Amino acid sequence: MKVSIIVPVYNVEKYLERCLESLVNQTLHDIEILVVNDGTKDNSQKIIDKYAKMDSRVIPFKKKNGGLSDARNYALPHVKGEYIAFVDSDDYVETTMYEKMYQEAIRGKYDMVECDYIWEYPDRKVIDHSNVEDNYFTDIRVPAWNKLYKTELVKEKKLQFPVGLHYEDIAFCYEILPWTENIGYVREPLYHYIQRDDSIANTQDVRVRELYDILNIVLEYYQQHKLLPKYHDEIEYVFVRYIFGRSFYRISSLEDKELRNQYLKEGYDLLNEKFPHWKKNKFLKTKKGIRNCYYRHMNRTFYYLSAKLFHTFGKLILRIPKSWR
């Protein structure tokens, strides 16, 4: 078995058939598709049964609802492929995706391979190309679904997704990175990431602060495995990148002013507590671009002023490149 594809399913009957069609029609035939019904309440199970009956490579599982991470973790012990892939059940992939990625993985003997992907909005499509320069820790795109992971590595390090929290891909990505000796890249957009108005990724509510919990999980992992001395600057930069970037964007979009300011303060304080000398970070000094210039000049006053501007012009923020978020 070459590739095991894990597909968590929860209330996606509108999208699931398209997703599974793109998987059973892969040009790489030696695959298995582990479809996990995470307590779905709609007709998704009927669709799963249909494809399981039609194609023996579709392996169905049922479990109580536990969230995306729990469903992925549930399937991990059952994988038989050389590599593991994850697909969100409301997305779909190019039919050549896993053939191209597997070929690249074998060619370079890579522990992990990533590809470009397409953000599909209701009114437009945007291709996301990798912006990795020379350090995957500071530039890698964290989604789990545009990658292949070497199964042996995932199982050896007992890697799992944090249950009960959003932004789980960030934790998984940074926990596997220090163990990867080499990473491959397919320069083609092979994954279609659907932007739904009701999706988790587009929901601006109290869950946005869970990114701080994820960052703490990453930091604790590096401390527990004695990795922090080697990767201190990288993890410090990850904190800067997400607190002033992704979480900042989402928290600034909250309508509740009191809650917004509370979360902003929590993020700024977290960074200064864990990394009090972050302004001396070597990547802040050496990396180029508007984003890094923005990070370098950040202070508490500028932080709150920027948040106010971001909140006021929220509709324009939706057009800001995702690398800022």
Q: How many residues does the chain have?
A: 325
Region 189-206: mean pLDDT is: 72
Domains plus CATH for the chain? Answer: 3-201 (3.90.550.10), 204-324 (no CATH)
How many Cβ atoms are within 10 Å of 1's Cβ, its own excluded?
Answer: 13
Q: What is the end-to-end Cα distance of the chain in Å, rounded?
A: 37
- Stated pTM of the model: 0.92
Which DSSP state fits 134?
S
Render pLDDT for 155-197 as a digit per residue (tens, 0 to 9): 999 999 999 999 999 999 999 999 999 999 999 999 999 997 6
Predicted confidence (pLDDT) at residue 288 exceeds the cutoff of 90: no
Region at 160 (left for phi over 0; alpha for psi -120 to 50; beta for the rest): beta
Q: What is the pLDDT of residue 207?
A: 81
Cβ atoms of 35 and 116 within 8 Å: the answer is: no
Residue 192 bridge partners (DSSP): 92, 118
Radius of gyration of the chain (CA): 20
140 backbone dihedrals φ, ψ, rounded to 5°: -65, 145
